[in-house]
Amino acid sequence: MRTHFPRLRFDRRSLLRYGLISLALVLSATLVWAAVQVALLDREIRNRFSSVRWTLPAQVFAAPQELYPGLNLPLDELQHELVRLGYRQVAALEGPGTFVARADALDISTRAFAFWDGPQQATRMLVRGGASGIEALSDLTTGKDLDLTRLDPMLIGSIYPSRGGEDRVLIKLGDAPELMVQGLLAVEDKNFYGHMGISIRGIARAMFQNITTGHVKQGASTITQQLVKNFFLSSERTFKRKFKEILMAVLLESHYEKDEILEAYLNEIYMGQDGSRAVHGFGLASNFYFNKPPAELKAHELAMLVGIVKGPSQFDPRRRPEMVRERRDLVLRIWADSGLIRPEEYEAAKAQPLGISGTGRGGVERYPAFVQLVTRQLKDQYPDEALTSEGLRIFTTLSPRVQEALEQRLIEDLPALEKARKLADGILEGAGVVTNAEGGEVEAIVGGRDIRFAGFNRALDSKRQIGSLAKPFVYLAALMEPSRYNVGSLLADEPVTVKMPGSKSWSPSNYDKKLHGSVPLYMALAQSYNLPTVRLGLDVGVAKVQQALAGAGFFNTPALPSVFLGALDMAPLDVAQVYNTLAAAGYQTPLSAIREVLTKDGKPLKRYEFKVKQTLPEGPVFLTTWALRKVLELGTARAAYNIIPAGVRVAGKTGTTDDLRDSWFAGFSADHVAVIWVGRDDFKPTGLTGANGAMPIWARLMRDLNVKSLDPTPPAEVEEALIDPGSGLVAADGCAGAMSLPFMAGYMPTEKAPCAAGLLEAPAQWLQEIFR
Amino acid sequence: MSVIRVSSLLLVLTVVACASQPPAGQSTVGAVLPKPVTLPSGTDGDITPGGPILPGGQTGQPQPLPDTRPPLNPNLPKSIEGSGAAAPVISLVKAARASLKAGRTDEAGASLERALRIEPRNPWIWQALSSLHVVTQKGEQAESEARKSNSLGRRNPYLEVENWRLIAEARKLRGDQAGAEAALDKHQDLQRFIAP
């Protein structure tokens, strides 16, 4: 024992020394390691915070509504437009975003908007007018007349990453309402401007509770901690993560100003979920829940937003309104107690309903089919990354008014068709496109009867046979040879068999299975007879028909005679393109859905300039359009004039495919081109022709849009002559039955017909007019 | 109400009733179509592709083409300001001119496109677009726009004289010297017409 004791003492001493040395080493290693960790965290924070702080999805705007005297926008529709934009109807004008409605006038306090080509100031204006449109505009402040003004454009969607996509609308701290900022701090972090990123008292309290309960439960986060959590960390609740959060919060505060942190918070904080889209920040939340900009939010609305910050999945205003209202009232109570609002304001705000926007989706995500087209047009030029994170501002051609008119038609008319035809509910599908005739701008798109579904877009991707929609291009090709054909040329409606090398011969028949003898060219088109069309097409040649379609903007026409009857696959958008060229008198404008793309700071990045090129001769296009007017006046679509006012000249064509699988109508007025398709996704027959399926939908749409009549004045190279329709020859003066037909100048028939039907009795003249 | 009015009303009602019948199986409407002059031949005729168009459909022979267009009308307005265009259109075209002068071609284009959406068939706007595109060296487009302006211009010599000058410029841009000279000839003819 004795011999061992000193050794043991020695061992103890050296052990202690070694122990101390090791401890020092371990401690220093830990310190170095911790320092490295802190440095890494610090770098992560600074990188993230100073570069792109938020992924900013591209924002997509509708075309702004222009207002000017003479615009054929009925006042009630203007009022509707204002409501869509989130303007509030009030008894006397308040701030921007409010309006007063009277019998023959609207007072509007418009919002300012920074258009790239010149800012639109916020204006208080008087709009006088009625059911026929706007008569006068004046500035309520100065009393001066206004020529032209435009409303702020509607935000219609955003392009965010498809998985777990964060969506937000940037808000600057200086632009945020005072009550939003102060109210948020009052509820979430009273001492924000005093602490260094963390609240020692809060942490102590939380630690005590966590230790007593045995697991991490209590949040007690400052605004800075919450921001860090949203920015960098997962939602798991561990001590390690909590520690990291505290550390990062302190680091963040050491590098950045309080206001920068607060602004980041306003834009970063999670505020709700819309399908796969995560709603981040107060800017978008304002739009998502109330369909208006933050500046226009009232106390009770601000209180709700501040209230749901606590837990948007739990406090979902649309699913749990009662619970959210309680939370909102609690927030209002806190505000009143801390003097942010006066007692009477508190009482008034508490009495308000939640006031969540009725659309369920704010202004965003209303028009997924249109946004799909926009995305597609952009994808050629911008990588996905740029679209989903750089905050591009995309100004489109969408007209919310036209879009909603089109949606309304499909929503109402498809079920009505099913009912009338005793088809199963939901069996019919439909799609539609509306463009503006001269500018080639896509104004509206519906990709299926489930309007809000951002999936398969039939307007863009459902390529189906177009049937008789192809016929006008056969006739156009013929009319481009004025020495051989004119609108009065008689065509034989007789059977025809086409022998095609290497396949069976083809014997088309008329839809009504009848033969009609010889018919004038325009009538063969108006009545959509197959046999004269095929004969005409064979005579002109497939190549010429291909050229006519190419001139109109479609380049994939197969070189087969069956294309004369529309054995040709096109999507509704393709059809809109070729009919748009007809509507624009042979001047082709590639359809476009975008006007400008701006950077997030509003600097122009790319302008999609209006493009036009004359690709088809005006005279023959006018003659074809004249015949297409006859389709509605006396042909397969004459029932359209039971719906469209008689004085409005429109042109169009029905299309039906084999076994009644597809029902089409395409046509135009002076201002709009519209295409409607109705059919089934499984390609089974619907029992509908173009005339009884798509056509009535089209006609009601044109009626709802209050379209402008086509200009009947022929171009300079076309002249008119009275023709005896029985012979196609020039009618002798005063012959009964003679009708005025347009011809290419210099190619009029010279031979006069004998007055077969006898001289015209004067009183019957007007009757002839009607039949025309 | 006179007897004529009553009978007119009845006739109109008849017409409306006719018009509302379903289209399938209808061969003719009203008095426009003659009765078929020939009866259908056999139902399974073996007709060669490109079969004849009935002789009744013969059209006039192409004649040496005199200018069949209506004569130039010197009484038409000389500029958009006097043309009866809507006030917003005039202010947009003026704004476009100012932007163009300042070299801001994008803004000029945007103003003209706004104007065009208000009055798509106003030939003065098409002319302004054409002169913009001559400046931005888009020859093909400039020529199409000047042509459209001519076509919508209803033989207004004041429009056409400038449009042919623009067409000449546009053709020069595309390297079509002969075409440019032909256009310039038309421009000069029109100048002489306006100020002989």
Whether the predicted pLDDT of A756 surpasses 70:
no
List the one residue out of A539, A528, A428, A527 whose CA is nearest residue A478.
A539
Residue B63 pLDDT: 34
Sheet holding A429-436, edge to edge: A441-446, A429-436, A672-679, A662-668, A651-656
Residue A359 pLDDT: 52
Q: Give A643: exposed, middle or buried? Use CB within 10 Å, 0-12, 13-18, 19+.
A: middle
Q: Which residues of A touch B25 (CB under 8 A)?
A: 512, 514
Q: How far is CA A12 from CA A16, A18, A40, A141, in A?
A: 6, 10, 40, 94
Q: Per-residue pLDDT averaged across A734-749, rounded?
A: 85
Task: Flag if A117 and B49 touch (Cβ within 8 Å).
Answer: no
- Alpha-carbon distance A188 to A226, whole Å? 10
Query: Which among B29, B50, B121 has CB closest to A539?
Result: B50
Pure H helices in B20-153: 87-101, 105-118, 123-135, 139-152
Per-residue confidence band for A568, with pLDDT thresholds at 50, 70 and 90: very high
- Alpha-carbon distance A237 to A229, whole Å? 11
Q: Report strand pairing: A393-396 vs A58-61.
A: parallel
> H-helix or E-strand containing A272?
strand A270-274
Task: Please indicate if any CB of chain A lies within 8 Å of the CB of B33.
Answer: yes
User: To which residue do tokens 């939010």 refer?
Assistant: A297
Query: Which among A492, A691, A715 has CB closest to B54?
Result: A492
Indicate the average pLDDT of chain B: 73
Q: Give A480: exposed, middle or buried? Use CB within 10 Å, 0-12, 13-18, 19+.
A: buried
Please provide the size of chain A in residues: 772
List the one residue out of A684, A681, A656 whose CA is nearest residue A465.
A656
- Alpha-carbon distance A443 to B40, whole Å? 46
The 10s digit of each residue's pLDDT in A487-517 is: 999 999 999 998 877 777 888 888 888 888 8
Q: Which segments within A112-251 are labelled E, that is strand?
A: 124-130, 133-139, 149-150, 155-159, 165-168
Range with the poorest average pLDDT among A23-37, A42-56, B163-177 = A42-56
Residue A690 pLDDT: 94
Whether the predicted pLDDT of A559 surpasses 60:
yes
Angle between helices B157-173 and B177-194 (to 10 degrees): 160
Residue A163 pLDDT: 59
- A347: three-class secondary structure by DSSP: helix
Residue A298 pLDDT: 93
Instruction: Please identify which of the residues A94, A188, A481, A717 carries the catalytic annotation.
Output: A188
Residue A219 pLDDT: 56
Q: What does the block give as tokens for B146?
A: 């000047």
Residue A210 pLDDT: 67
* DSSP state string for A385-431: HHHHHB--EEEE---HHHHHHHHHHHHHHHHHHHHHTTPPTT--EEE
Residue A360 pLDDT: 47
Per-residue confidence band for A616, with pLDDT thresholds at 50, 70 and 90: very high
> H-helix or E-strand containing B78?
none
Sign of torsion over alpha carbons A31, A34, A40, A46? negative
Whether the predicted pLDDT of A541 surpasses 50:
yes
Task: Flag if B151 and A716 touch (Cβ within 8 Å).
Answer: yes
* Cβ-Cβ contacts under 8 Å for B185 (sequence gap 6 or more): none
Residue A73 pLDDT: 92
Task: Please indicate if any CB of chain B lies within 8 Å of the CB of A740.
Answer: no
- A115: three-class secondary structure by DSSP: coil
Residue A246 pLDDT: 86
Task: Flag if B88 and A512 touch (Cβ within 8 Å).
Answer: no
Task: Flag if A521 and B19 touch (Cβ within 8 Å).
Answer: no
Angle between helices A400-420 and A75-84 (to 10 degrees): 100
Residue type, A516: H
Q: What does the block give as tokens for A601?
A: 């700071």
A618 vs B45 pLDDT, higher one = A618
Give this prediction's pTM. 0.81
Active site residue A468: yes
Q: Give A590: exposed, middle or buried? Use CB within 10 Å, 0-12, 13-18, 19+.
A: middle
Active site residue A135: no
The 10s digit of each residue's pLDDT in B142-164 is: 999 999 999 998 889 999 999 99
The 10s digit of each residue's pLDDT in A651-707 is: 999 999 988 999 999 999 999 999 999 999 999 999 999 999 999 999 999 999 999
Angle at alpha carbon of residue A217, lines to A216 and A223, rounded to 5° = 105
- Alpha-carbon distance A297 to A314, whole Å? 23
Range with the poorest average pLDDT among A215-224, A444-453, A545-554, A591-600 = A215-224
Residue A640 exposure: Cα atoms within 13 Å on the Cβ side: 34
User: To which residue do tokens 């803004």 refer?
Assistant: B107
Interface of B with A in 83-142 (CB under 8 A): 86-88, 91-92, 106-107, 109-111, 113-114, 116-118, 120-121, 129, 140-141
Residue B124 exposure: Cα atoms within 13 Å on the Cβ side: 23
Whether the predicted pLDDT of A134 surpasses 90:
yes
- The CATH number of domain B80-194, selected from 1.20.1250.20, 3.40.50.150, 3.40.109.10, 1.25.40.10: 1.25.40.10
Task: Flag if A691 and B24 touch (Cβ within 8 Å).
Answer: yes
**Cβ(A267)–Cβ(A53) under 8 Å?**
yes
Residues of chain B by 3-state class (helix, strand, coil), percent to 5: 60, 0, 40
Whether the predicted pLDDT of B77 surpasses 90:
no
Q: What does the block give as tokens for A444?
A: 């509206």
Query: Which among B19, B44, B61 has CB closest to A639?
Result: B19
Residue A234 pLDDT: 62
A388 vs A743 pLDDT, higher one = A743
- Alpha-carbon distance A490 to A502, whole Å? 32
Q: Per-residue pLDDT averaged across B163-178, rounded?
A: 96
- As for the ipTM of the complex, it is 0.82
Task: Please indicate if any CB of chain B lies within 8 Å of the CB of A768.
Answer: yes
A695 vs A313 pLDDT, higher one = A695
Whether the predicted pLDDT of A770 surpasses 90:
no
Whether the predicted pLDDT of A322 surpasses 60:
yes
Whether the predicted pLDDT of A365 surpasses 90:
no
Indicate the average pLDDT of chain A: 88
Range with the poorest average pLDDT among A159-163, A564-568, A729-733 = A159-163
A697 vs B67 pLDDT, higher one = A697
Per-residue confidence band for A233, with pLDDT thresholds at 50, 70 and 90: low
Task: Flag if A496 and B106 touch (Cβ within 8 Å).
Answer: no
Q: What does the block give as tokens for A309?
A: 């910050």
